[in-house]
Structure 1
Amino acid sequence: MGVSPVCRSNFNFRRSHACTPIPDKERRKLKFERQTLTPRQTAASDRGRPDLAAKRRGPYDRALVARRGVGCMKNHRWLPWDRLMRASHLYTGMFLFPWMIVYAVSAFCINHSAWFLAKNQPAQRWEVVREADFAPDAELPSDADEQAKAVLEALDLNGAYRILGVPDAHQLTLLRLCAAGHYKVTFQRPRNHVVVERLRPVSAYALINNLHFVTGYGVSSWAYWVWAVVVDAVTISTVIWVISGVYLWARRPKKRLLGGVCMTAGIALFAVLVVLLCR
């Protein structure tokens, strides 16, 4: 069987350039341009660079470009946007990977809570972990919310909390939120006594579920603030992923039909479900 001219020329091309390896950075650039530029644009980019032209051009490369027909790039003005979209899509996902896993797994667990609560969730109960005296001074505010902050600060339990029930002259009960097990703090006013209980044991389901609902703004602890900032970054990055995904899809003509069908089907299903759920 004879060898085609394209294959023979490609063999000669590679053999003649075997002693002149291309650096990795230059190789990636050549590969990217070969996949995105039309032959005319590639030739235009090689003007004044005979070394690149010699390494890039050849019957094999021409046949590859012609076979792929990748005319995604209309001109070089789109190159910065392509790089920006690809980089934002990639690196935000890499940085936010742990949070996306937490929210994805916790959302699945919440959606199927009956499976996990019935089979894998151990029976939890409140265990007393600490008792202390708390003698309020004259500067203790009368507002229940401010009193709660003062009690938690005295116990070194600053963080997100909720007031349980209606505070009265006898008792103030707080739920101090914690991913590794919530605290229940009971301030017995007549005795100036505080009882701290913790929800035990803590399962993986409870930990993931608690991390899903961690709130940060308005809490004095810096860890809550950082978590809240990252959650904002997750929401913004999700929008960026959608925009960059649509952009990258639009830049690939061969994928527009399939991508358009998927997008149309998703929008239609979303609209139907919203209408049905709003009845």
Structure 2
Amino acid sequence: MTSTDPPDATTDDRAALRANCADCFALCCTAFGFQRSSEFPIDKPAGTPCLNLADDFSCSIHESLPARGFRGCTVFDCFGAGQYVSQNLFGGTSWRERPDTSAEMFSTFAVARQLHEMLWYLVEAAERASSTELSAPVAQLRAEIQRMLDRDTAEILASDAEAVRADVRHLLIAVSEEARGGYGTSADTDADVHPSADLAGRDLRARRLCGADLRGAYLIAADLRHVDLAGVDLLGADLRDARLEGADLSEALFLTQAQVNAARGDGDTALPAALDLPRHWLR
């Protein structure tokens, strides 16, 4: 749950891909389950309401989620799928009003969230791609995913989201390679800086990282304070507790709000224009 504020419909293509909890039937608090861990203090089966869910679908402990152990809630992002499913696909009729629709609604939300996440990345890919060889397939994939979302729930549930994800992944890698081309070759970075690298807890402040491919890397509690991360591919990187105070991520590739929310930063951390400084960074 990243925001309770409605998105500005006059902004760019990301407007519909930002969570608007006010128009959602708390699908993230019901559809998915979780187990007791450092992210959650309790077990919750999938398809059941969270014990903190209020009658109006708001979170009764929203302002104190981290302090109460529900850190996992603060870093979740549905990419706008929650309000899309609630309002567009189910016509604004909640699972509480129609309990018989709950299973279908929750399952559809799980697929729609995947599709919305792909659209988020493809919007950035469209902005990054400078050649027709890449911009054309990006546009085609965006149109294909939107067609999938425009179908009814039965067709959405029957869609092969994983196959589309594979196509999106290959395209994002190609866009990343093109975008990072101006930052030098991989030989300019250290050998341990690569996709899926395990850099958890490492002090990376002295590293040259501009243009590095850290897709899927483990950067848990890594020290990146005041580091220039221009052109760094952070697609799927684990940034939990990463130290980003004063770091410049304004030109980082494929960074999401959920990743930012999981990290540690401050008012001097520079983020891409599409992302917001988390409120807990400023407290």
Q: TM-score, normalised by structure 2?
A: 0.20
Larger relative contact order (Cα-Cα within 8 Å, sequence gap ≥ 6): 1
Higher strand share: 1
